[in-house]
């Protein structure tokens, strides 16, 4: 009956990690009614929107009404802050679990039953958007040098890089994007730059915020240096520990 609810209020203000894991175990278990993909897709979309403002949803009944408030009339969903922090801390494993269970579910309808291909398809359900628009914005405010190695970059060698790897943050937001030379971008790949770059990134974002046209952007409105620091440390906790540094730095 819970999917018919139009408004749900959170029942508990505080949850332990163990209690939240129990909710997820229930959602992934056969006890939860998974007649469609919507629960998995909802979890995926919450994970993908952790660093944006608004999320909406429908796993209310399964979680004992403790994880979020929702109001379909207002198209709003408010996550319990403990749950929000839980999802940030266990983001990677939750992504894997959700993809896996979504794949298992989809497999029933897949003629070939090829789970390997299916998992790839599931991974790519949320495609990264084009970064061209971010290049246009960033290129008018930076000094023409690679964020990481400091080398002067020609336009054709300029890449837009996700400071916190895309595979973790799963979103394109200006405060997490820098212009890097192709060498740095390609060698950094899915790695996290080492910690001194976190401070450089915070300083870079301060300078973006000082520009009114950028400060009023929707993605910059949700930025704070604390969020970036938290995200950096969450990604380390989620296994991004193979820290990257540029091969050659021009000081």
Locate all alpha helices (DSSP H) within 111-242, ordered by sequence: 115-123, 132-139, 166-169, 182-188, 196-209, 212-215, 218-221, 225-237
DSSP 180-193: EEHHHHHHHTTPPB
| 89, 90, 166, 231 from 238: Cα distances, Å | 7, 7, 13, 10
Contact (Cβ atoms closer than 8 angstroms) between residue 208 and residue 194: no
**Would you count residue 192 as binding Zn ion (CB under 5 A)?**
no
**Would you count residue 178 as binding Zn ion (CB under 5 A)?**
no
Closest contact distance (angstroms) between CB of 157 and Zn ion is: 9
Task: Name the token pair of 20.
Answer: 């939240």
List the x/- string, 49-88, binding to Zn ion by CB under 5 A: ----------------------------------------
Out of 181, 192, 228, 231, the only residue in the binding site for Zn ion (CB under 5 A) is: 181
**Closer residue to Zn ion, CB minimum distance, 119 or 179:** 179
Determine the interface stretch with Zn ion among 4-12, 83-91, 133-141, 144-152 (rule: CB under 5 A).
144-152
**Would you count residue 148 as binding Zn ion (CB under 5 A)?**
yes
Pairing of strands 76-79, 158-162: unpaired
Closest contact distance (angstroms) between CB of 188 and Zn ion is: 9
**Would you count residue 94 as binding Zn ion (CB under 5 A)?**
no
Closest contact distance (angstroms) between CB of 195 and Zn ion is: 18
**Would you count residue 179 as binding Zn ion (CB under 5 A)?**
no
Compute the distance between CA of residue 148 and CA of residue 142 in angstroms, rounded to an integer. Answer: 13
Determine the interface stretch with Zn ion among 71-79, 94-102, 136-144, 180-188 (rule: CB under 5 A).
180-188
**Closer residue to Zn ion, CB minimum distance, 149 or 171:** 149
**Would you count residue 158 as binding Zn ion (CB under 5 A)?**
no
Out of 42, 119, 138, 184, the only residue in the binding site for Zn ion (CB under 5 A) is: 184
| 38, 70, 96, 154, 248 from 125: Cα distances, Å | 13, 25, 13, 33, 36
Compute the distance between CA of residue 100 and CA of residue 94 in angstroms, rounded to an integer. Answer: 10
**Closer residue to Zn ion, CB minimum distance, 119 or 181:** 181
Residue of 53, 54, 77, 75 whose CA lies nearest to 67 = 77
Tell me the three state secondary structure of residue 130.
coil
Chain positions contacting Zn ion, by CB under 5 A: 146, 148-149, 181, 184
């Amino acid at each position: 009956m819970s999917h018919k609810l139009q408004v749900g209020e959170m029942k508990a203000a505080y949850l332990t990690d163990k209690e939240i894991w129990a909710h997820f175990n229930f959602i992934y278990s056969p006890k939860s009614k998974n007649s469609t993909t919507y629960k998995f897709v909802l979890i995926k979309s919450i994970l993908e929107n952790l660093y944006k403002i608004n999320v909406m949803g429908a796993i209310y009944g399964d979680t004992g009404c403790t994880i979020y408030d929702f109001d379909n009339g207002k198209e709003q969903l408010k996550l319990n802050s403990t749950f929000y922090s839980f999802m940030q801390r266990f983001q990677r494993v939750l992504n894997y679990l959700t993809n896996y269970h979504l794949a298992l579910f989809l497999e029933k309808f897949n003629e070939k039953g090829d789970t390997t291909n299916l998992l790839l398809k599931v991974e790519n359900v949320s495609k990264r958007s084009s970064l061209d628009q971010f290049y246009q914005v960033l290129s008018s405010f930076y000094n023409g040098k690679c964020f990481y190695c400091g080398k002067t970059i020609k336009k054709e060698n300029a890449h837009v890089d996700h400071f916190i790897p895309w595979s973790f943050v799963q979103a394109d937001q200006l405060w997490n994007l820098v212009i890097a030379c192709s060498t740095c971008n390609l060698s950094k790949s899915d790695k996290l730059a080492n910690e001194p770059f976190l401070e450089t990134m915070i300083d870079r974002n301060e300078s973006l915020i000082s520009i009114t046209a950028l400060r009023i952007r929707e993605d910059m409105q949700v930025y704070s240096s604390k969020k970036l620091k938290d995200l950096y440390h969450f990604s380390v906790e989620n296994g991004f520990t193979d820290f990257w540094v540029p091969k050659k730095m021009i000081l």
